[in-house]
Amino acid sequence: MDFQTIITGFASSLTLVNLVFICFGVLIGIVVGAIPGLNGPMAIAICVPLTFVLDPLTAIAFLIGINKGANYGGSVSAILINVPGAAEAMATTFDGYPLARLGKGLKALKMSLYASVWGDTFSDLVLILVAAPFAIMALKMGPSELFAVLLFALTFIAALVGSSATKGIIAAIAGVFLSTVGLDPEASTPRMTFGQLDLEEGVPLLALIVGMLALSEILIQIEEGWRARHAKTPEQRVSVFDAKGDDRRVTWPEFRSCLRTIFRSSIIGTVIGALPGLGSTLAGFLGYGAAKRASKTPDEFGKGKLEGVAAAEAANSAVVGANLIPTLSLGIPGNLSAAILLGALIIHGVQPGPMIFESHGHLIYGIFGAMLVANFANLFIGQAGLRVFAYIISLPNRYIHPVIVLMCFAGTYLTTQSMLAIGIMVGFALLGYIMRKLDYSIVAFIIAFIMGPMTEDALRQTMVLFGDQPGELLTRPITMVFFALTAYSLWRFIVGRKPQILAEPN
Amino acid sequence: MRKADIVSAGVVAVFGLIVLLVVIPIWVPGHMEGGSYGLRAQDFPLVTAVSFTLFAGAFMVFRAFFSKADETDEPPITARSWRFLAIAGGVLAAITVLLDTVRFLAGGPVAVGAFMVMMGERRPLPVIALSLAAPLAVWLFFWKFLEFPLP
C-alpha cells in the first residue's frame, strides 16, 4: 500500500460530513452509555439501518463514534448512581461513587473522561501501527492456516465469554450452523431456506443482532421491573452541582499524579483488547487491580481515590481500539461491538479479512482517522455536556425503551424490506431471553454467526487445495500448532476450571 | 442451574437430532456440484450440527451423572418467567401482525403504548402522547427524510 493511500485515507475522515457524523455518533453513544440498561453494542445495532444512505466511511465513522461515546458514557451512571451504564464500567464504581458522595462527582466524571480518552487514543495508535503488519503476516497464510486460526479464535472466544465454557462452545457452534442457512457459497444451492426466497441471502444479520441484543435485553429489564415494582430501593443519586472550587475540576497536579496509572492501564487494556474474547470488563478490573498493587496507599482505594477511577477507565477504554486489531487484520472480531462493526462493513459491501488493507486501504485509513477524531469529539462533547448527561441518567426507562422497541422494528424491516425479517427478529428476541437466563452466551453465538461464512470458505479452500487428503495437513506446521492450541483450549476450559474474572457478562 | 442445564442441553441435543435426521436431508442437497473433490453443500452444516449435538449430549450426560446436585438448585426460568415470556411473545407477535396488516402508522402507536403499559406507565396522557409522537417521528425520519419504506 502506498503512502498516498494512507494520507488520503486519513484526510477523508476530516470532511465536514464525516466530522458531523462522528460528533453525532459520540453524542448518541454517551447518552446511550449513560443510561443504565442500554449499552454501546445495542446502540450500534439499532443505528446500523440509519447508515444505509451513507457511504461506507461515514457510516463506520458514525458507528465508531457511538462505540467510543458509549464506552465513556457508562462511567457517568457508575459514578453518579453507583450503577454502571455498561458492564465495563463496573470497576469505575469502586472509587467513582465514593468520590461523588464526597461531593467530588464532577471531578470524578472529568478524570474518567480524560483517562478514557487517553486510553482510547493510546490503543488507537497501537492499532494503526500494528494492524497492517498483522494483515501482511495473515496474507502469507494459506487457507488451511486461516481455517486453523479461525477455529482457534472461535474456541477461545466461545470458552471465555459467558460463565460456562461448554455452554459458550455449544452456543458458538450453533451460531456457525445458523450461518450456513442461505445459498451455498460455491454452487449457490439453497440450504435450509424452506422455500423462502428471503432466506436465500441467509438469516438477516441485523434481525439476529437486534433481536438477541436489544429486544431480549429490554424483555429482561421489563421482567425485572415487574418483580421490583413493589420493592422500594433507596435513592442513591448524587448531585454534581453542589461541588465547589477544586472539587469541580481535575487540577494539573492531580492529573500528573495519575499519569503513570493511566499509562499502565492503557497498556493493560490494549493487550487485553488485542486478544479476542477478553473484554473491557476484565481490562477495567485488571487495570484497577494493578493500580492498587502499585500504589503506596492501597488502603485508600475503594474509598474515593481519583487514581482508581483513572485506572479503571483508561483500561476499559483502551480495549476499544485494540479490539479492531484482530477484527481488521484477520476478520476475527474481538468483542461484540467489533462483531457488529464487522457486520456493518459486510452490509456496506466490504469483505473483512487480511485482504482488506489491499482492497479497501483508503477506507481503512479513513476509519483510523475517524477513530482519532472520535477521541477528540469524545473529549469536547463529554466535557461540554457533563451536566446534561448527569440529568439524562434520571430519565425513566418506560419512556426510552418503547421508542427503542419501535426503532428495532423499523430498522429491521429496512434491511430486507420483508416482514419475515421482523418475524426472525422477534424469534431471536425470545431465544435471546431464554439463552441469557440459561447462561448460554449470546455474545459467542453472534460472533460465531458472523465468523461462520469465513470459516466455511477457509475449510472449502483447504479441502480443494489438499484434494480431500486431510493427511496433507500434517505438512503444515502453523496449521498443526493452531489445531493443537484449539484442542488445548477445549481441554483447559472445559475440563479445567475457568478463572471467574474471565467471565464476561452477556 | 443443574436441572436447567440438563433440560436445556437435552433440548439442544434433540433439536440437533431433528436437524440431522430431518432438516438437512430434506432441505440441503447432498450431491456434489462441479468438481470431484471439495465440500458438498451438506458437509459444513452437517459437521456443525453433529458438533453441537454431541457437545450438548455430552454436557447433558455430564451434568446428569457426574456433577453434584446443587442444594439451592433454583430454576433460572421460573413459571413466572415462562408466563412473562408468553405475554411478551404474544405482544411482539401481535405488533408484527399489526405492522403487516394495518401498517406502521397505525401499528406503531399500539407497539409503543403496549410497551409503556408493560413497563408500568399507567397515566393515559404520557401513554397517548408518546404513542402518537414516537411513531410519527420515526415515520417522518425514515419515510419522508431518508425515503426508506416502512411496513
| Segment A192-245, tens digit of pLDDT | 988 888 888 889 888 898 888 888 888 988 888 887 765 545 445 556 666 667
Instruction: Measure A193 CA to nearest chain B CA, in Å.
Output: 7
Residue numbers in A near B37 (CB within 8 A): 463-464, 467-468
B8/A438 CB distance under 8 A: yes
- The minimal CB distance from A429 to the residues B12, B92, B138 is found for B92
Percent of chain B residues topping a pLDDT of 70 = 92
Residue by residue, DSSP assigns A442-469 as HHHHHHHHHHHHHHHHHHHHHHHHTTT-
Q: Confidence band (pLDDT; 50, 70, 90) for A119?
A: very high
Using a CB–CB cutoff of 8 Å, tell me whether A203 touches chain B: no
Percent of chain A residues topping a pLDDT of 90 = 22
Residue of B nearest to A399 (CA): B116
Residue numbers in B near A410 (CB within 8 A): 104, 138, 142, 150
The C-alpha cell 432441505 sits at B27
B151/A422 CB distance under 8 A: yes
Kindly report the pTM of this predicted structure.
Answer: 0.83
A187/B116 CB distance under 8 A: no
B118/A460 CB distance under 8 A: no
B148/A222 CB distance under 8 A: no
Is the CA virtual torsion B37, B41, B47, B48 positive or negative? positive
Q: CB of B107 within 8 A of CB of B95?
A: yes
Count Cα atoms within 13 angstroms, Cβ side, for A347.
29
Of the two residues A262 and A396, the one the predictor is more confident about is: A262
How far, in Å, CA of A396 to CA of A241, rounded? Answer: 21
Which residue spans within A155-289 are E strands per DSSP? 182-183, 190-191
Count Cα atoms within 13 angstroms, Cβ side, for A181.
20
Residue of B15, B48, B61, B104 best to disrupt the A interface, most CBs of A under 10 A: B48
Q: What is the ipTM of this complex?
A: 0.92
Cα dist from A304 to A80, A97, A99, A160, A178, whole Å: 13, 7, 4, 31, 47
Give the 3-state secondary structure of residue A191: strand
Cα dist from A371 to A12, A34, A310, A441, whole Å: 12, 20, 21, 29
Residue of B119, B130, B131, B136 best to disrupt the A interface, most CBs of A under 10 A: B119
Task: Look at residue B35 in the predicted model and tell me its pLDDT.
Answer: 59
Pairs of residues, one from chain A and one from chain B, whose beta carbons lie less than 8 Å apart: 175
The residues, ordered by sequence, that sit 6+ positions from A3 with a Cβ below 8 Å of its Cβ are none
Instruction: Measure B34 CA to nearest chain A CA, in Å.
Output: 8
B115/A219 CB distance under 8 A: no
Cα dist from B129 to A399, B51, B116, B136, whole Å: 11, 51, 11, 11
Q: CB of A151 within 8 A of CB of A455?
A: yes
Q: CB of A272 within 8 A of CB of A72?
A: no
B1/A406 CB distance under 8 A: no
Q: CB of A306 within 8 A of CB of A95?
A: yes
Q: CB of A168 within 8 A of CB of A441?
A: yes
Task: Look at residue A385 in the predicted model and tell me its pLDDT.
Answer: 82
Using a CB–CB cutoff of 8 Å, tell me whether A194 touches chain B: yes
Residue A158's Cα: distance from chain center in Å? 15
Q: What is the mean pLDDT of residues A81-107?
A: 80
Q: Please give the angle made by the CA atoms of A74, A108 and A98, to the nearest 5 degrees.
A: 90
From the CA atom positions of chain B, what is the Rg in Å?
Answer: 24
B11 pLDDT higher than 90: yes
Residue numbers in B near A397 (CB within 8 A): 119
Please enumerate, as own/partner, the contacts of A405-409 that have beta carbons within 8 Å and a separation of 24 or more: A405/A215, A405/A218, A405/B111, A405/B112, A405/B115, A406/B108, A406/B111, A406/B112, A406/B134, A406/B135, A406/B138, A407/A46, A407/B138, A408/A46, A408/A210, A408/A211, A408/A214, A408/A215, A409/B95, A409/B96, A409/B99, A409/B108, A409/B111, A409/B151
Q: CB of A6 within 8 A of CB of A361?
A: yes
B109 pLDDT higher than 60: yes
Helix residue ranges, H only, chain B: 2-18, 24-27, 43-61, 79-101, 104-118, 124-139
Residue of A nearest to B36 (CA): A467
Task: Look at residue A496 in the predicted model and tell me its pLDDT.
Answer: 64
How far, in Å, CA of A437 to CA of A435, rounded? Answer: 5
A439/B37 CB distance under 8 A: no
| Mean pLDDT lowest among A3-7, A28-32, A80-84, B139-143 | A80-84
In the chain, the amino acid numbered A487 is A
Cα dist from A399 to B79, B88, B127, B129, B131, whole Å: 28, 18, 9, 11, 10
A177/B100 CB distance under 8 A: no
Using a CB–CB cutoff of 8 Å, tell me whether A192 touches chain B: yes
Residue of B nearest to A429 (CA): B89
Number of Cβ within 10 Å of residue A231's Cβ equals: 6
Residue numbers in A near B146 (CB within 8 A): 50, 52-53
Residue numbers in A near B48 (CB within 8 A): 173-174, 176-177, 180
> What is the per-residue burial (b if ≥16 Cβ within 10 Å, else e) of A207-218?
bbbbbbbbbbbb
